Amino acid sequence: MKSIPLIVILSLFAAQSAAQWEALPDSAPSPADNPTTAEKIELGKMLFFDPRFSATGTVSCFSCHNVMEGGDDHRSVSIGVHGVAGGRNAPTVWNAAFLSSQFWDGRAATLEDQAVGPVTNPIEMGMESLDDALGRIRAIPGYKQHFDTAFGAGDNVTMENAAKAIAAYERTLITPNSPYDRYVNGDEYSMSAQAIRGMNTFESVGCSSCHSGPAFSGPAMPAGAGFFVKFPTFESNGDLEKFDLLADQGRFEATGNEADKNIWRVPTLRNLEFTAPYLHNGAVKSLDDVVTLMAQAQLNRNIDGDQVADIVAFLESLTGEFPTQIMPRLPPTPGDLLD
């Protein structure tokens, strides 16, 4: 199902009440048609790490989403097959299960939808078709038993099931129990005084108008909807040319709808110290600079250095506990595939 955009202009939230601070849940809910199981998680993890489903056999989901660290690749824009550079910064997969939609432009409604897209994208994994990708899976005999275990015996090696398995794995990528989470759950000593000041400043200057909810990516949305804002909202404030913020027109690139120009899905603010550089084009390298820029371009405010430092301290308190990731053992490649 395609994402149904809910375009949210920041000024509409000017009169909202105080932020409702929410801790990150320890687990993510799964959709009714894809209940999470240990077997799906195991298969999805294998597919996530396996580069053999790219045209060159060199690019996997893990290539751009390094779950051994911040869930991204620390490039301004990602590099796909044949060394081709993409157009956008790789968003983190950590806590992606809590986002209202997937990709920077929200063109995928769910994790399942998102898992399919990169496979045939010519500058990501570069397969000619989904049928070709499935052919790769079916040609590796060791995968069939894992599909049988996850989905029951039968004709089950399908792209739908592969996407369901990858999504099930990604729903385990949750980083709870940050200092902020402990603070809102009653541990008044888990955050520093500076971080608490930053939390209050974050709310008072208006950051929480968009960055709300447990993932700081907006409120919970109906199934198939996305939480979007215009960025930049105030084009007269902030060094937009320096960061080249208007070159990519956001959701418009996916929909062709004039109303979607410079409209973006609101990203999570969790674990930001692990995911530099920032923004859709990776043009901003430091948290101090991105806080200053966002205050200017989104709130039309020029905040001082102390406020910036306090907000950064608060953002650093959103770094949670990363569950240990053990790289999977993949099924062997048959010799007759080595042409």
Over the Cα atoms of the chain, what is R_g? 20
Q: Tens digits of per-residue pLDDT, 111-153?
A: 999 999 999 999 999 999 999 999 999 999 999 999 999 999 9
Tell me how many helices (H) and strands (E) the chain has: 12, 3
Per-residue confidence (pLDDT) for residue 241, from 0 to 100: 85
Q: Which fold has domain 4-25+175-316?
A: Cytochrome Bc1 Complex; Chain D, domain 2 (1.10.760)
pTM of the model: 0.92
- DSSP at 210: T
CA–CA dist 171, 28 (Å, integer): 6
- DSSP at 33: T
Torsion angles phi and psi, residue 162, rounded to 5: -60, -45
Identify the segments of the chain with pLDDT beneath 70. Answer: 1-19, 223-224, 337-339
Q: Which fold has domain 38-174+323-333?
A: Cytochrome Bc1 Complex; Chain D, domain 2 (1.10.760)
> Reduced to 3 states, what is the DSSP secondary structure of residue 84?
coil
Per-residue confidence (pLDDT) for residue 238, from 0 to 100: 72
CA–CA dist 103, 244 (Å, integer): 20
Specify the DSSP element, H or E, that contains 61. Answer: helix 61-64
- DSSP at 79: B
Torsion angles phi and psi, residue 294, rounded to 5: -65, -35
Q: Tens digits of per-residue pLDDT, 55-94?
A: 999 999 999 999 999 999 999 999 999 999 999 999 999 9
> Reduced to 3 states, what is the DSSP secondary structure of residue 8?
strand
Residue 205 one-letter amino acid:
V
Per-residue confidence (pLDDT) for residue 289, from 0 to 100: 96
Residue 218 one-letter amino acid:
G
Q: Verify whether residue 112 is a known catalytic residue.
A: no
Mean model confidence pLDDT for the chain:
92
> Reduced to 3 states, what is the DSSP secondary structure of residue 112?
helix
Instruction: Express as a percent the part of the chain with pLDDT over 90.
Output: 87
CA–CA dist 139, 59 (Å, integer): 18
CA–CA dist 287, 55 (Å, integer): 36
Residue 15 one-letter amino acid:
A
Identical topology for domains 4-25+175-316 and 38-174+323-333 = yes
DSSP letters, 205-219, are HTGGGTS-TTTTS--
Handedness of CA 229, 111, 55, 326 (dihedral sign): positive
Q: Tens digits of per-residue pLDDT, 56-67?
A: 999 999 999 999
Torsion angles phi and psi, residue 44, rounded to 5: -60, -35
Q: Where are the domains of the chain?
A: 4-25+175-316, 38-174+323-333
Task: Give me the torsion for CA of 244, 301, 92, 36, rounded to 10°.
Answer: -140
Picking from 47, 31, 104, 100, the residue whose alpha carbon sits closest to that of residue 253 is: 104
Specify the DSSP element, H or E, that contains 228. Answer: strand 225-230
Q: For tokens 């759950």, what's the residue?
A: 185
Please answer whether residues 338 and 243 qualify as being in contact, where contact means their C-beta atoms are separated by less than 8 angstroms: no
Per-residue confidence (pLDDT) for residue 254, from 0 to 100: 94
The catalytic residue among 22, 42, 112, 124 is: 124
